[in-house]
Structure 1
Amino acid sequence: MTRISLKDIFSLASDVVSLATERDLTIATAESCTGGLIGAAITSIPGSSAPFKGGIIAYDNAVKANQLDVPEAIIETHGAVSEEVAEAMAQGVLTALETDLAISVTGIAGPGGGSEEKPIGTVWIGLAQKSQPAKAALFNFGDIGRNKVRDVTCYEALKALKAALSQAQ
């Protein structure tokens, strides 16, 4: 995997803010393993207050259930790091903050918490848009270190948000 720099992250965040502003679309984030890094990157861009409505840091499963309306049964059945939870988180923040698009991340940054089925570096990134079912993509970054997993997750989430905004009408 190529090295991701803060410049790369902020460049993508700038693109996200520009595209959302040009298209008059609002965005929100639901973050678990990144702990607010995506929202921080977006809000570092001047003018981000126009498209960015906010985010929910849902590190604990109770926050996922109570603030993002992720059914506890989904968490119990599939685990917090799963396609189903990432999709529900994205849909939950889209609904809660009444935005046009929302991105979510849930993963295992390490150094602990991994398993054979879900090793360190496993991340799901969810995307929700009005009038479309939420979808999620799986990433396996490997055990590259906690902060690198978080940075690469932030980068990939911004990349996904940029792609969705580029296609939005």
Structure 2
Amino acid sequence: MITAEGGRVRRVAVTLAGALAFGVLAALVKGDQGGVRDTIGNLSTPWLLAGFVPGLFARSLPRGAVLGLAATLTALLGFYLVVSFPLDDLSEVLRLNRRWVFSGLLSGPVMGAAGAWVRRRGFPLARAAVVVTGLLLVLEPLVIVAARVVPGWRTVIHWTLEPIPYVVEAAAGVVVLAAAARRRRR
């Protein structure tokens, strides 16, 4: 018989294992060359979802924030373990990419708490995950385009990657949101 505590421990372990697997997969997709694979491996939407989705299973905002943080940091660890493998120096890779680790320290808890908030509001979890995914898919390319227009943003957000995956990402977001809206009308 599994106790409630044992069930929670198992869910957290599965969440962290999934986050680790995501980080490893993202690094493998990204590869160590430039181009489309590099851009796909650097898309922000999956990284934000790495914190949001675990939060959907938390019963409170603080728990969602902690779970989102743990999942995001575990995913980053998996990613940078793979990235550092040829170099054999994880600490150097983490130092060089500290901006993204610090970003995860912010995005993980925020997205985890957002997931917990969605759960507490009683939204259907699958529908909420689809809508949030669609919004993130649309918003990321808009933020990157804004970085080219808004004074001062170029120093924060660099668009040195391939543009095609961002166009595809935005189109996918529109399709996901349209499908969610159409399904809701039914």
Bigger Rg, which one: 2
**Counting strand residues as a fraction of each chain, which structure ranks higher?**
1
When normalised by structure 2's length, the TM-score is 0.29
